[in-house]
Amino acid sequence: MKRLRGAAWRTSAVFILALAVLRVQPVVSARQGDSVAPPAAAYGSALPRIPAPDFTLTGLSGRPLGLTDTRGHVVLLTFIDLRSATAVDTARLLRTFSEEIGPPARQVWILAVNTDPAATPAQLAAWTAARDMTGRWRWLTGRAAALQLVWTDYHIGSELDGAQLVHASATYILDPHGRERWVLSTAAASGLAAEAHALAAAVLALGG
């Protein structure tokens, strides 16, 4: 009887240990940062860790900001056309993401590149304030020629939104070394919570 009890105890111990390893493994993998995908693969495509094209544009304060200024931090680089119906969804997505990621102390940069050539800094600021994103992201804009170079480097195309032609929405995740790791297209409104969670998981995995 004692032998049976001892064998049963050993079997239970091995099972519990195996279960613990299985529970811990995803956490360990998520912190390695080299091959971890957002939990919902449908929300993005992996990129081969190539250096993100550098650029310098102007913030709403009038000060220039270059991509190299963000080196050492994870960056969400998003492209927003205020004329697009997906612009509002993008704002909601990034607001939910910023709530999941925690306080600014995490040092995650959210950069929004203006892709509406006619939008003025005042219009960008008003649009951002109306969507409770003040202080959570930095708008970058500039002359049409400078913006065009950035759109081209990041393969931002155009799409038909109703009766007008607007720029497509896209969000890149750049790692602390300034390399492209993921590119995502804004999901439909029904998928925003899941996509925000996927973004937060990907950023945390990269060291945010």
The string of DSSP codes covering 23-71 is HHHHHHHHTT-SSPPPS-GGG-EE---PBPPP-EEE-TTS-EEEGGGGT
pLDDT score for 38: 46
Q: How far apart are the first and last CA of the chain?
A: 54
Tokens representing 18 are 């195996």
Tens digit of pLDDT for each residue in 69-99? 999 999 999 999 998 888 888 888 888 888 8
pTM to 2 decimal places: 0.75
Residue-averaged pLDDT of the chain: 76
Q: What is the CATH number of domain 35-205?
A: 3.40.30.10
Q: How far apart are CA 80 and CA 114, in angstroms?
A: 5
Average pLDDT (15-20) is 30
Q: Is the pLDDT at 107 greater than 80, yes or no?
A: no
156: Cβ–Cβ under 8 A, 6 or more apart, which residues?
79, 115, 150, 167, 168, 170
Do 57 and 141 touch, CB atoms closer than 8 A?
yes
* Helices 192-205 and 86-101: angle between axes, nearest 10 degrees: 50
Alpha carbon separation from 164 to 9, 15, 93, 153 (Å, rounded): 70, 61, 23, 23
| Inter-residue contact 201 to 191 (CB < 8 Å) | no
Residue scoring higher pLDDT (77 or 38): 77
Q: Give the pLDDT mean for 149-166.
A: 86
Edge-to-edge strands, sheet with 109-114: 45-46, 180-184, 170-174, 75-80, 109-114, 138-140
User: Per-residue DSSP letters for 64-125?
Assistant: EEEGGGGTTS-EEEEEE-TTSTHHHHHHHHHHHHHHHH-SGGG--EEEEEE--TT--HHHHH
> Residue 107's closest CA among 189, 208, 2, 1?
208
Rounded percentage of the chain residues whose pLDDT exceeds 70: 74
